[in-house]
Amino acid sequence: MSDSAPTDPLDIFSGSLESLYDELQVSYSEPGKLFSYRGVTVSPPDTASENWSLHASSIWRASLFLTDHLPILDGPEPVHIIELGAGSGLPGICAALEHPGARVVLSDYPDPHILSTLAENVRRNQLREVRVKVVGYAWGSDLPSELIPHSFDVVMAADTLWMPEQHANFSQTLALLLKKTIGAKVYLVAGLHTGRWMIAEFMRVVATTGLGVQEIKEVSLINGEEREWKAERENEDDTKRRRWIIRMTLSWATLQTS
């Protein structure tokens, strides 16, 4: 069994359709179904019916990419990491397993179904809740007591940029949680299946918070090729666009070094 491939037969079959029909699968699994990847086993959460629009009930390809490309953590431990919009918590749980000295928070919308599944995924991977905490938080609202402002060395999220109406709240949340140090970074991954303008609009909004884009690349999901980010590309249809993913690093603009 490969550590970096879905193990469920339906997921494997769906993956084979990519080569047959030149379509890339953008999400995997479903609530209640176990999903194993890189030695981590999780179940996607269900949600209350009023929160179906969050699309938290799948594991998205961007989450797999983030899991495969976790930030390299330098400096003295403990390092404090938070995954926002965590869903199943796959990247955050993998980060906790790879960095035993790190303190990790998995955060998502305060839907009890999402939070209970996240907590179960933490236990399923034999992580102590004292080191990996699950915290419900709605972006833009008052911080709960478990989240201390400017206390995280690493803030990361996968596929959280597809809701333009939440860009301001999400950007403010990033700026509120990230430490104000040179080494503190935000790591974002976003699929392009929802369009390029979403990414461009987020970049415009997040710049108003004092955070700046340190690096942004388009990465091929076919062969790993990287290329320059562009807000528009000629002759790009949906099929071509979904073959690429965006990886973006943010840091405090006034502290960025060349």
Lookup: tokens for 106 = 């998995």
Residue type, 99: H
Residue 52 in this model has a pLDDT that exceeds 50? yes
Q: Where are the domains of the chain?
A: 60-255
pLDDT of residue 121: 95
pLDDT of residue 10: 39
What's the average model confidence in pLDDT over 155-172?
A: 95
pLDDT-based confidence at residue 225 (cuts at 50, 70, 90): very high
| pLDDT single digits (tens) 173-213 | 999 999 999 999 999 999 988 889 999 999 999 999 999 99
pLDDT-based confidence at residue 46 (cuts at 50, 70, 90): confident
Biggest distance spanned by C-alpha atoms of the chain: 51
Residue 92 in this model has a pLDDT that exceeds 80? yes
pLDDT of residue 48: 67
Distance CA 207, CA 189 (A): 17
Who's near 52: CB < 8 A, 6+ residues apart? none
Helices within the chain (DSSP H only): 9-21, 61-68, 90-98, 112-124, 167-177, 196-206, 238-241
pLDDT of residue 155: 97
Q: What is the full DSSP assignment across 5-73?
A: S--SHHHHHHHHHHHHHS----EE--TT--EEETTEEE-PPP--GGGGGG--SSEEHHHHHHHHTPPP-
CA atoms within 13 A on the CB side of 163: 14
Residue 16 in this model has a pLDDT that exceeds 80? no
Residue 24 in this model has a pLDDT that exceeds 80? no
Tokens 């996240």, located at residue: 118
pTM (2 d.p.): 0.87
Q: Among residues of the chain, what percentage have pLDDT more than 90?
A: 65
Residue 109 in contact with residue 170, Cβ under 8 Å?
A: no
Residue 175 in contact with residue 150, Cβ under 8 Å?
A: no
Residue closest to 156 by CA, chosen among 177, 127, 180, 129 = 177
What's the average model confidence in pLDDT over 229-254?
A: 92
Residue 28 in this model has a pLDDT that exceeds 50? yes
- Across the chain, what does the average pLDDT equal? 85
Residue 134 in this model has a pLDDT that exceeds 90? yes
| pLDDT single digits (tens) 69-84 | 998 776 666 799 999 9
- Residue with the bigger pLDDT between 256 and 258: it is 256
pLDDT of residue 2: 36
Give CATH for domain 60-255.
Answer: 3.40.50.150
Residue 37 in contact with residue 64, Cβ under 8 Å?
A: yes
